[in-house]
Amino acid sequence: MSPIQRRALLMRALALGAATTLPGCNYEDPNHPDLADDFLHAMSYWNDRVQQALFDPHTLAPTFRPDQITNPPRFNAFYSISQAPVVDPATYRLQLGGQIRDQTPWTLAALNALPQTSQITRLVCVEGWRVIGQWSGVPLSDFLRRVGADTTCRYVSFQCADGYYSSIDMESALQPQTILALQFLGAPLTPPFGAPVRLRIPTKLGFKNPKSIVQLAVTNVYPGGYWEDQGYNWFSGS
């Protein structure tokens, strides 16, 4: 079940059991926060700061052996697998924005021509399941330096072909295992799994790994995210 379907189901169940649930659990509706929402937002903000303090750029996420890879990988998005966006690799451009000096869009060929790294890491979903995969691509720190990004900014944000969006803190963006992934298991990414370019960041939960990225920006203005704006913790570090 996708998170959206599950949510719809749970909301229906919740409506049935409304009498037994806590008042003010409509963490659902960000435009009408009640007391419980305010409390939860304040605690989530506090947890962001704790995680930021806990984050050690030299601590690497565990790596795994090739025989531990989960194959086929597990699909997850806010829509079903058949609805995954298909981006034409020939006309694809990665747009850049915000505090970046050289904002020339990048073609897939140009990204592929950059020095690549490979990793076998674990993706842990906020739901509690996890998969191990092999991703290769361009270290995000290399890319940001190459395009002249202001790495003193606080956030790197991502817009995706399917309307998804997310953002990460600069320290995590510069961690060596954070890559703009172009390949899975040595072959170009396929549409449901993030083609043509996705973020792979093994120090954060799965939903902080946006797929089919069409725009990358560097900013000091909090960009939020698709799930984050609905109440998931923003930092969501591992």
Residue type, 32: H
Among 2, 33, 47, 112, binds another protein (CB under 8 A): 47
Q: Confirm or reject binding of residue 222 to another protein (CB under 8 A).
A: no
Interface stretch with another protein, choices 12-20, 91-99, 102-110, 211-219 (CB under 8 A) = 12-20
Who contacts 86 (Cβ-Cβ below 8 Å, separation ≥6)? 191, 195
The answer to whether residue 59 forms part of the interface with another protein (CB under 8 A) is yes
CA nearest 112: which of 143, 94, 83, 137? 137
- Start-end of H helices in the chain: 3-16, 35-54, 108-112, 140-146, 170-173
Could you give the string, one character per residue 90-119, with x where binding to another protein holds by CB under 8 A and - elsewhere? ------------------------------
184, 163 Cβ separation under 8 angstroms: no
Tell me how far apart the alpha carbons of residues 211 and 161 are, in angstroms, rounded to a whole number.
8
DSSP for residue 106: B
Q: 132 or 213, CB closer to another protein?
A: 132
Contacts of 31 (CB under 8 A, 6+ apart): none
CB within 8 Å of 59: residues ≥ 6 apart: 203
Helix, strand or coil, per DSSP, at residue 20: helix
Among 216, 231, 47, 207, residue whose Cα is nearest residue 138:
216
28 binds another protein (CB under 8 A): yes
Given 20, 82, 91, 152, the residue binding another protein (CB under 8 A): 20
Instruction: Write down the least CB distance from residue 96 to another protein, Å.
Output: 28
Residue list 127-166, contact with another protein (CB under 8 A) = 127-130
- Parallel, antiparallel or unpaired: strands 187-188 and 130-139: unpaired
Figure out which of the listed residues 5, 25, 103, 110 binds another protein, where binding follows CB under 8 A. 25
What minimum distance in Å lies between the beta carbon of 152 and another protein?
23
- Shortest gap between Cβ of 83 and another protein (angstroms)? 21
Does position 45 interact with another protein (CB under 8 A)? The reply is: no
Comparison of 79 and 226: residue with beta carbon closer to another protein: 226
Instruction: State the residues that interact with another protein by CB under 8 A.
Output: 3, 6-7, 10-11, 13-14, 16-17, 20-22, 25, 27-28, 39-40, 43-44, 46-47, 51, 54-56, 59-62, 122, 124-130, 202-203, 227, 230-233, 237-238
